[in-house]
Structure 1
Amino acid sequence: MGFLRSPLLGMGLALNIACASHADALVPRRGTNHTSGQNLLTSEVADFVKEHMDFWKIPGMAIAVVDKDDIFTQGYGFSELPDKKVTPDTLFYGGSTTKAQTAACLSVLIKNGSYDALANGWATNISSILKDDFVLENKWATEHITLDDAVSHRSGLPRHDRALMREKNGVPLSTADLVRNLRNLPYIHEPRVASYYNNHMYVVLSHVIETVTKKGLKQVMRELLWNPLGMNSTYLGLADAQKAHKDLAKGYLWINQTDQINGTRQANQTGQFKPVTYMPMTDLSGSAAVISNVRDYAQWIRGLVNHTHIFSDDVHDDIRTARFIFSPAPQFGYDIDLYSLGWFRNVLKGHLFYRHDGVMLGFRSMVYWFPEEKFGFVIFANSDTAATANNIIARKLVAMKLNIPEKEVFNVTASREGITTPEQDFEVAVKKYYPNHTISDPSFSFKDMEGTYVNAGYGTMTLRSAPGPKNETVLIAERPDMSWDYTYTFRHIFGDKWISGLSWREERFNTGSFGPAEFIKGTDGKPAALKMTSMQGTTSEGDITYNKTG
């Protein structure tokens, strides 16, 4: 999506009551002596957190630190504006930190040997379990992609997040429906060559778990993971979280003051928070649907770092085993990223650690754990602009625990540089895709281009005219039926060539992920189709053709 990181300064955010839990740990397999942990949630950290919440416009945040057997928790700011405070019990969207729980459950099912369908372990071909539900555009991949390929993001399928949909023609889609839609998505990479992060494949793994066990995924997670760990405030999907009648944080966008006529935005403008509509997440399943609080996630981390009896040794080892190189380039003190079971595996100055983040509309999350140090933490935040703050706060906690100079782990100044506006990003895209373009009118009127367009994999969208940046008329397509509600904005460049921009539906002018688009003329001289390149950031996911149907 388009993420405009807006420097701020402003709103004072309250520091809430600190809590420390010293409850009995689950019995560890390796080592039984208890040594007291270090509470890193000091007043220094509180000031650091508050300063970053102010800069990055984050209403609320919760942190839990696990050190050996001890758990320390803290709430900062507000779960709902204007004055409802975050506590360690406040629920947040966990996003893609869900993946590690899904993968751990599947590892348990594989290692306990109870299911014939999983007899080949992670080498099991997915099609052998899901049959005709699992069909990819690439025939070889359909027949050979394994559970291990899916869990480690090496299937070769592009990300295609914009094809994840909650409903089709008003009818809610099941996990099986989403898996069946994979056959309609461009498959432009070779399998097992490079990593392409993929939410669809964790939906596939969810379908595998439900098919093999004949149980819903949330029941499997509760039986194998949440109940044994005492994670009594963890839920799969919005409905169950709301039924629990607990404090569920409200997610927020930060809306810069915007001239709605020309759509320009400046990085240093003031603005206001806008609450977002909660994502139901029934469609995202084991990819990103967990809602929880930092207390529960601390139990999960403590179970991992202490190698507890919640899992067998085989499962603990399986979770920690690297599967594939995810990112071959070291970044600011961190070594190259490997990927294990729903975790990025990395090394910092000889210290092995695992981490994963989560991105949901209005929410960001981050989890780290260091197995040798028996140390880890979770950060939940209720702002769409919290990713950089989470990353910097995480690195500060790591530097404090490992006694590493902060300048070797993070740079606050650098993290705040290079903030661009959507208009600047648009101009870069124009130069990239149409470097020597001429100036000419489109072949069609806006009225002719408006209407309904359909693609088998990406669904149905309706184009309509709307005011855009610089007093120009644009075409927009709102997609409220998708997992992440989004809007495409199409701006004319020359002839029938356009640039598409992507944004949250609730924040239309903050566009990003720009790509080329073209209207195709039919035999009647009218627009017959819209061909566009689906973009994930600056990476192409393949060309998508929407046929005009009305």
Structure 2
Amino acid sequence: MRLQRLTYAAALIQLCLIQAQNPLQYPSSSPEETLLDDAFNRKVLEHFHIPGLAISIVHDGKAFAQGYGYSGISTSTPVTENTLFFTGSTTKAHTSAAISLLMDDNNNFPQIQWNTPIHTLLPSDFTLSNPSLTSQITITDMLSHRSGLPRHDIVLLQNITTQQIIQRTKHLPLTAEIRMEFHYFEVVSGLPIATFLKERLWTPLGMDETYMDIEPAGRYITRTSTARGMSSRLCSDYANWVSALLEREAPISKEGYTALFGAHSIVSGVVSEPFSGPNYKGHTLIQHGGSQDGFGALVVMLPGEGFGVTVLGNEMVGTNGASWVLAFELIDRVLGVAGEERFGWEALVDAQLQQSKLTNDTLSALYPTLPPTSELLPYPLDLSSYEGIYTHPAYPILRISSTCPERTPLKNPEKWTGSRLCASFENHAAFASELELDIFHVTGTYWTLVFWFAGRGDAARVEFRISPGGGVSEVGVDFEPGMKVRGEKIWLTRV
């Protein structure tokens, strides 16, 4: 769906993905078979190293589901229709739908329209780094990722409120995409967004075990997690949600569905195989994935066929790959696509997972023209001179130390001088407590930062600036991917 709720980022970094071991074999797709093939689904589960997942199908007004594997890494509790999963960015559509309910209520909320400027709803909080754009950004701009503000995921690692996040957007450089947590919904409706969703959307749709956060869902959670996001019981709740979208049922109005299913921005100028624009095999397709540390999700619908599938899993990287294989196996069956005409999803996903791993090639690509190790330049100051606290008006406080713990494994560049710093965020949210940051000296004032989180990692360029007085004054880090490709860094000032 194009209209999306902008929630907490799926991951801090571009995570290392798992290489599958054996190629998948597709089962027969004869019409006599049931849509859910247990043997195939279990093989996908094993192939992508996922503890457990569940698949929900809506087809021709009927809904059914099946769980596979276990509800956690260290438990023997099987996944069932009552197992809760974080559903990540698939919930963007929930908030878009909820906002459409305000659009319909012109008696109480006449100021809420798709083209309403955000700053009129948050005059004291919402400001962009480019003041001329602040007055122009509308609700549709925000929901369709076209305001010019990139993700800035690391801002969301802080233990701060949603309002504080919004107030810091004026300090964030603009590049291409929007990524910000909503607060104006609560301001306008007078209700916390979780309450509004529960009362106006989920309860009318029979989604009685869908929650905005962990606490009310605690009695169902079987996998330890401190991530924030939406949890949903698979069979009854997400099937109800997808069924409502397919049938265009209340409480969302006809006008609301027109806006929700409309195209509002161009995600990519390139159409990738096997799609032809928004179509698959000549059929309109609507989809959205979701990621949360430890969880993955995918919702795909073929409105013309009255078909929808939801895949939820409790391992983020594996589920992100497996969900495409599983969803399009079912879609091909519904459409009657013969085996030899099917696209090789498993080969594509395996290749993407391999390319996304943190390897020596990843690190070498940061500085592709380095001379031999023997010719690297020393850092200009004593190692202890780089220690200290570095701040930014929007990003978390960064503490850098030259006394570093032992890491297993320690992923370091092939070319570096052998000196290392380490770092941590001072005011991080609870779910970021396992984050490890190591800074390896490459040459002169240039370093490489390696992120580690739950056994996966990514890398970024780092540069220190020396003040006229001879001390370290700033550190610049490729924290934001949208800026990284432009050669721009986030600069933090040493306190």
TM-score category, normalised to shorter length: 0.7 to 0.9
Q: Identify the residue that residue 400 of structure 2 maps to in structure 1.
A: 463
Contact 1:9 1:54 in 2 (8 A): no
| 389, 394, 402: which one aligns with 2:335 | 402
Answering whether residue 245 of structure 2 is matched by residue 299 of structure 1, we say no
1:101-112 mapped onto 2 (5 Å cutoff)? 101-112=94-105
Give the Å deviation of 1:363: 0.7
Q: Identify the residue that residue 4 of structure 2 maps to in structure 1.
A: none
Cα distance change on mapping 1:103 and 1:58 into 2, 3 Å: same
Cα distance change on mapping 1:223 and 1:540 into 2, 3 Å: farther
Cα distance change on mapping 1:470 and 1:69 into 2, 3 Å: closer
Answering whether residue 325 of structure 2 is matched by residue 392 of structure 1, we say yes
Q: Identify the residue that residue 76 of structure 2 maps to in structure 1.
A: 83
Q: Identify the residue that residue 186 of structure 1 maps to in structure 2.
A: 173
Cα distance change on mapping 1:76 and 1:457 into 2, 3 Å: same
Q: Identify the residue that residue 340 of structure 1 maps to in structure 2.
A: none
Q: Identify the residue that residue 274 of structure 2 maps to in structure 1.
A: 333
Contact 2:102 2:109 in 1 (8 A): no
1:10-409 mapped onto 2 (5 Å cutoff)? 40-42=34-36, 45-80=37-72, 81-116=74-109, 118-119=111-112, 121-167=113-159, 173-189=160-176, 196=177, 198-200=178-180, 203-204=181-182, 207-242=183-218, 245-246=219-220, 248-250=221-223, 277-279=225-227, 281=228, 289-295=229-235, 296-336=237-277, 346-386=278-318, 387-406=320-339, 407-409=341-343
Answering whether residue 493 of structure 2 is matched by residue 481 of structure 1, we say no
Q: Identify the residue that residue 489 of structure 2 maps to in structure 1.
A: 543
Q: Identify the residue that residue 34 of structure 1 maps to in structure 2.
A: none
Deviations along 1:39-74, one digit per CA (max 9) or x if unpaired, are 8543xx322222222122110001100012111110
Cα distance change on mapping 1:393 and 1:223 into 2, 3 Å: same
Give 3-state SS (helix, strand or coil) of 1:366's partner: strand
Give the Å deviation of 1:546: 1.0
Contact 2:324 2:345 in 1 (8 A): no
Once structures 1 and 2 are overlaid, which stretch shifts more, 222-231 or 535-544?
A: 535-544
Contact 1:237 1:291 in 2 (8 A): yes
Give the Å deviation of 1:321: 1.2
Distance (whole Å) between structure 2 residues aligned to residue 435 and residue 158 of structure 1: 34
| 399, 420, 424: which one aligns with 2:360 | 424
Cα distance change on mapping 1:442 and 1:146 into 2, 3 Å: same
TM-score, normalised by the number of residues in structure 1: 0.77
Contact 1:158 1:541 in 2 (8 A): no
Give 3-state SS (helix, strand or coil) of 2:129's partner: coil
Distance (whole Å) between structure 2 residues aligned to residue 409 and residue 8 of structure 1: 18
Give 3-state SS (helix, strand or coil) of 1:469's partner: coil
Give 3-state SS (helix, strand or coil) of 2:399's partner: strand
Contact 1:352 1:371 in 2 (8 A): yes
Distance (whole Å) between structure 1 residues aligned to residue 344 and residue 468 of structure 2: 58
Identity %: 25
Give 3-state SS (helix, strand or coil) of 2:142's partner: helix
Give the Å deviation of 1:360: 0.8
Deviations along 1:318-355, one digit per CA (max 9) or x if unpaired, are 2111111112211221133xxxxxxxxx2112211211
| 498, 503, 506: which one aligns with 2:447 | 498
Deviations along 1:85-113, one digit per CA (max 9) or x if unpaired, are 10011000010111000011001111221
Give the Å deviation of 1:129: 0.7
Deviations along 1:215-238, one digit per CA (max 9) or x if unpaired, are 100111012210001101100011
Distance (whole Å) between structure 1 residues aligned to residue 173 and residue 351 of structure 2: 36
Cα distance change on mapping 1:369 and 1:414 into 2, 3 Å: closer
| 366, 387, 394: which one aligns with 1:450 | 387
Contact 2:150 2:179 in 1 (8 A): no
Distance (whole Å) between structure 2 residues aligned to residue 50 and residue 379 of structure 1: 13
Cα distance change on mapping 1:93 and 1:516 into 2, 3 Å: same
Which sections of structure 1, spanning at least 5 residues, go unmatched? 11-36, 168-172, 190-195, 251-275, 282-288, 337-345
- The residue identity in structure 1 corresponding to 2:173 is P
Q: Identify the residue that residue 17 of structure 2 maps to in structure 1.
A: 5
Cα distance change on mapping 1:39 and 1:138 into 2, 3 Å: farther
Give the Å deviation of 1:291: 0.9
- The residue identity in structure 1 corresponding to 2:171 is N
Contact 1:461 1:478 in 2 (8 A): yes
Give the Å deviation of 1:277: 4.0
Q: Identify the residue that residue 7 of structure 2 maps to in structure 1.
A: none
Give the Å deviation of 1:134: 0.2
Aligned residue pairs: how many? 455
Deviations along 1:348-398, one digit per CA (max 9) or x if unpaired, are 122112111111111111111121111101111001322111121112111
Distance (whole Å) between structure 1 residues aligned to residue 97 and residue 372 of structure 2: 51
Contact 2:52 2:70 in 1 (8 A): yes
Cα distance change on mapping 1:435 and 1:524 into 2, 3 Å: same
Distance (whole Å) between structure 1 residues aligned to residue 108 and residue 276 of structure 2: 38
Give 3-state SS (helix, strand or coil) of 2:442's partner: strand
Which sections of structure 2, spanning at least 5 residues, go unmatched? 1-12, 23-30
Once structures 1 and 2 are overlaid, which stretch shifts more, 470-479 or 156-165?
A: 470-479
Deviations along 1:499-523, one digit per CA (max 9) or x if unpaired, are 223332x43xx321x3321111124
Cα distance change on mapping 1:431 and 1:453 into 2, 3 Å: closer
Give 3-state SS (helix, strand or coil) of 2:478's partner: strand
Q: Identify the residue that residue 26 of structure 1 maps to in structure 2.
A: none
Distance (whole Å) between structure 2 residues aligned to residue 522 and residue 74 of structure 1: 62
Once structures 1 and 2 are overlaid, which stretch shifts more, 493-502 or 401-410?
A: 401-410
Distance (whole Å) between structure 1 residues aligned to residue 430 and residue 102 of structure 2: 28
Give 3-state SS (helix, strand or coil) of 1:447's partner: helix
TM-score, normalised by the number of residues in structure 2: 0.85
Cα distance change on mapping 1:433 and 1:310 into 2, 3 Å: farther
Distance (whole Å) between structure 2 residues aligned to residue 433 and residue 103 of structure 1: 46
Distance (whole Å) between structure 2 residues aligned to residue 445 and residue 125 of structure 1: 51
Contact 1:490 1:501 in 2 (8 A): yes
Q: Larger strand proportion, structure 1 or 2?
A: 1
Answering whether residue 473 of structure 2 is matched by residue 528 of structure 1, we say yes
Contact 2:103 2:110 in 1 (8 A): no
Distance (whole Å) between structure 1 residues aligned to residue 289 and residue 358 of structure 2: 24
- The residue identity in structure 1 corresponding to 2:475 is L
Give 3-state SS (helix, strand or coil) of 2:400's partner: strand
Give the Å deviation of 1:116: 4.3
Q: Identify the residue that residue 170 of structure 1 maps to in structure 2.
A: none
